[in-house]
Structure 1
Amino acid sequence: MRVLAAMSGGVDSAVAAARAVDAGHEVVGVHLALSRNPGTLRTGARGCCTIEDSMDAQRAANLLGIPYYVWDFSERFKADVVDDFIAEYQAGRTPNPCMRCNEKIKFSALMEKAIALGFDAVCTGHYAKVLTDENGNLELHRASAWAKDQSYVLGVLTADQIAHSMFPLGDTPSKAEIRLEAEARGLTVAQKPDSHDICFIPDGDTKGWLDERLGVSPGDIVDVDGKRLGGHEGTHSFTIGQRKGVGIGIPTPDGRPRFVLEVRPKTNTLVVGPKEALDLRELAGTSFTWAGIAPATLTEAFACHMQVRAHADPVPAMAQLIGEELVLTPDSPLNMVSPGQTAVIYIGTRVLGQVTIARTVSAVERVTA
């Protein structure tokens, strides 16, 4: 097969490309330039997509003896990921830019271009697996090593995208094994640290980054009864479940901490209250996709597991299509989930699909939207 290997400059994508070469595929490496003004060097494990990353990817491609290109996707990345990130926070939601990047850039824009150029598959360093069911249908599954599993951020993939995806690291037991393999191959990125932050906010200061773009907009902090407790400088600086940095001067009578329960951008108000008020009995959204064949009876509730963060534990739930909404009801109340987050749905190890959370229902009968 003709395989386009997406090479970020990290160890995972380098080893994935190497394994694709070993498998006998005709491999071409490509690095995505996602910023018009990329930084020169990384700082520890912060950020990615720097000039240094591009050079690391090129060195790996040269060692593997494969052609290497840099494709400029910066304009689309800004529109589909960066601008979306700003708009979501401005609307009081908590977005996941990695999900949007996979949905709009790596497995949409990149894959579309790859297929147009005659490639059969896009190879990445994600830890996940594509398996075939008894009827010959392709399915997306968790990696063998759940500790490193990255299937959550791939929950946005469609059936067609899965059919053109290749994840050579899916059966690897650990990241340590990948680093040892990289060393044995002579790849200079063998001990390069992972990136853990939002790539376009390399210093990790999300609040400061948003403040620069959205400015200061003073508003009130109130309790669940509407009593004013303090003020803030912009709702975009807060997320559901936040406790630290809220800046309330009035303590609770019992001394218990307060958490952000709601972000109301229309009235520029934050609602705070006790932690138990964050427990949710229902999550729902109209923006959902299926990673392969959808369940046969969506209008009837079916058992599944749902995961709301990349490193969260999956929890048992029921899912059902009610009108235009996909409604998820966890078996036990789920804590600290915000509109804008993505709930990925699993049946066993299979990724069934995902929904962007637009509405939540509190276990104490409070509704946020």
Structure 2
Amino acid sequence: MAKKVAVGLSGGVDSALAAFLLKQQGYEVIGMTMATWDGSIDMPHVEGREGCFGPGEDASIAEAKTVADRLGIPHHVVRISEDYKREVLDYFRAEYRAGRTPNPCVRCNQFIKFGALQRAARRMGIDFDYFATGHYARLDFKNPDVPFLYAALDHGKDQTYFLSRLTAEQLSTVMFPLGGMTKVQVKELAKEIGWVDFATKKESMDFLECGDYSVLFNESDNVPGDFVDLQGKVLGRHRGIIHYTIGQRKGLNIGGQPEPLFVVAIDVKKNQVVLGPRSTLDCTAVEGTELNLMVSESSPLLKGELTAHIRLGHKGTPARIEALDTQKGFIRVRFDEPQFASAPGQILVLYADSGVVASAIIA
């Protein structure tokens, strides 16, 4: 009997082709789409914009249903709005209110797509052996001393940064059918099978459909305060700390300074945003908490040179682990060269070649 694979269909070309490939390989494929939007947030629908969360969700669900119909597979809509609000939206708000910079997409993968979605599906009676997505990543569970999560063949589309908080247990029954393909190959295959509409479809890139995080906050979160310099001198007024993040330069509206100013710290207790020159944001080391180790603690890889990424889009830099406490979930990493703007709340991901060895939340 063919193994059953539940594919998370988002309405985009990647998840569509993941489902197509799995069916071609002989699996019994089931399509399921998570529904997180419940209308409880006053968010405008922006025509032509794509986002993971927003009032345009019904259109994405309809596109996912189109994929399922073309493949002749069942399609289920799994409603998990309460889980999403608690694990992603509430977390996002709390982090910004604390002066930190969260990554909602990493959080969503950890707790929703590879957690709540599957649990809710099973409660609905959907039976499956594996769960698959259209993420660009590769898995290999050879032995505990080497990573089990590897960068995709297409390094330009690699999504292991987003998946770095997942555990071996979470990934043990997961499939990434596109990990060995390039995005160009995926789009070409979509055209070959007659799915030109999906091959040319605009991709979803934003967390929110409207692109404006402020819709998630209350008016009471917009408490104005002082911009101050490193010596505490008042430079102007800010709109509320939720609008700022470490390393930010745009939108400060502070003129008359000898050099450009950046956000270098956020003082929640004083409701102050501290500004300084770019040089003050250079850091030679970071500390992380909530460590997710993706090799054994005794792996020799942890003692050698690694590549550290301190935010999405960071090109990576040579680094070494300086301290590691798995019981406390703590790690300290030192870079070979100073790095710009390490922001608390962001995700630190460490690679050995193309394999993810660890991730943590920057403290």
Instruction: Using structure 2 for the length normalisation, give the TM-score.
Output: 0.90
Higher mean displacement: 4-13 or 313-322 = 313-322
Higher mean displacement: 218-227 or 300-309 = 300-309
2:17 matched to which residue of 1?
15
Does the residue aligned with 1:285 lie in a helix, a strand or coil?
strand
Asked if 2 retains the 8 angstrom alpha-carbon contact of 1:33 and 1:73, the reply is: yes
Find the aligned partners of 1:143 and 1:232 in 2 and give their Cα distance: 41
1:196 matched to which residue of 2?
205
Asked if 1 retains the 8 angstrom alpha-carbon contact of 2:144 and 2:296, the reply is: no
Please, which of 275, 282, 285 is the counterpart of residue 282 of structure 1?
Answer: 285
Are 1:70 and 2:74 matched, yes or no?
A: no
Asked if 2 retains the 8 angstrom alpha-carbon contact of 1:159 and 1:290, the reply is: no
Please, which of 228, 232, 236 is the counterpart of residue 230 of structure 1?
Answer: 236
1:47 matched to which residue of 2?
51
Asked if 2 retains the 8 angstrom alpha-carbon contact of 1:302 and 1:320, the reply is: no
Does the residue aligned with 2:338 lie in a helix, a strand or coil?
coil
Please list the CA deviations of residues 223-279 of structure 1 after superposition, one character each: whole Å capped at 9, or x if unmatched. 111111111121111000111111224x22xx3100000011111011100001100
Asked if 1 retains the 8 angstrom alpha-carbon contact of 2:5 and 2:129, the reply is: yes
Does the residue aligned with 1:92 lie in a helix, a strand or coil?
coil
Q: CA deviation at 1:308?
A: 2.1
Matched letter for residue 175 of structure 2: M
Q: CA deviation at 1:40?
A: 10
Higher mean displacement: 220-229 or 175-184 = 175-184
Instruction: Count how many residue pairs are aligned between Structure 1 and Structure 2.
Output: 349
Higher mean displacement: 127-136 or 98-107 = 127-136
Please list the CA deviations of residues 102-127 of structure 1 after superposition, one character each: whole Å capped at 9, or x if unmatched. 00001111234567754221100000
Alignment of 1:9-158 (within 5 A): 9-37=11-39, 43-48=47-52, 50-113=57-120, 118-133=127-142, 139-158=148-167
1:363 matched to which residue of 2?
none
Find the aligned partners of 1:277 and 1:40 in 2 and give their Cα distance: 38
Alignment of 1:336-355 (within 5 A): 336-355=341-360
Does the residue aligned with 1:119 lie in a helix, a strand or coil?
coil
Find the aligned partners of 1:22 and 1:37 in 2 and give their Cα distance: 38
% identity of equivalent residues: 37
Please list the CA deviations of residues 24-54 of structure 1 after superposition, one character each: whole Å capped at 9, or x if unmatched. 1111000000111399976334313511100
Find the aligned partners of 2:340 and 2:145 in 1 and give their Cα distance: 38
Does the residue aligned with 2:83 lie in a helix, a strand or coil?
helix
Alignment of 1:169-248 (within 5 A): 169-173=178-182, 175-187=183-195, 188-198=197-207, 201-206=208-213, 208-210=214-216, 212=218, 214-248=220-254
Does the residue aligned with 2:33 lie in a helix, a strand or coil?
strand
Please, which of 350, 357, 363 is the counterpart of residue 362 of structure 2?
Answer: 357
Asked if 2 retains the 8 angstrom alpha-carbon contact of 1:309 and 1:342, the reply is: yes
Please list the CA deviations of residues 279-309 of structure 1 after superposition, one character each: whole Å capped at 9, or x if unmatched. 0111112211123x333169x8542111123
Find the aligned partners of 1:35 and 1:233 in 2 and give their Cα distance: 28
Instruction: Using structure 1 for the length normalisation, give the TM-score.
Output: 0.88
What root-mean-square deviation, in Å, do the aligned CA atoms of Structure 1 and Structure 2 show?
A: 2.3
**Could you say if the C-alpha distance between residues 235 and 203 of structure 1 is closer, same or farther in structure 2, counting changes exceeding 3 Å?**
same
1:303 matched to which residue of 2?
305
**Could you say if the C-alpha distance between residues 340 and 213 of structure 1 is closer, same or farther in structure 2, counting changes exceeding 3 Å?**
farther
Asked if 1 retains the 8 angstrom alpha-carbon contact of 2:45 and 2:209, the reply is: no
**Could you say if the C-alpha distance between residues 135 and 220 of structure 1 is closer, same or farther in structure 2, counting changes exceeding 3 Å?**
closer
Asked if 1 retains the 8 angstrom alpha-carbon contact of 2:147 and 2:356, the reply is: no
Matched letter for residue 83 of structure 1: D
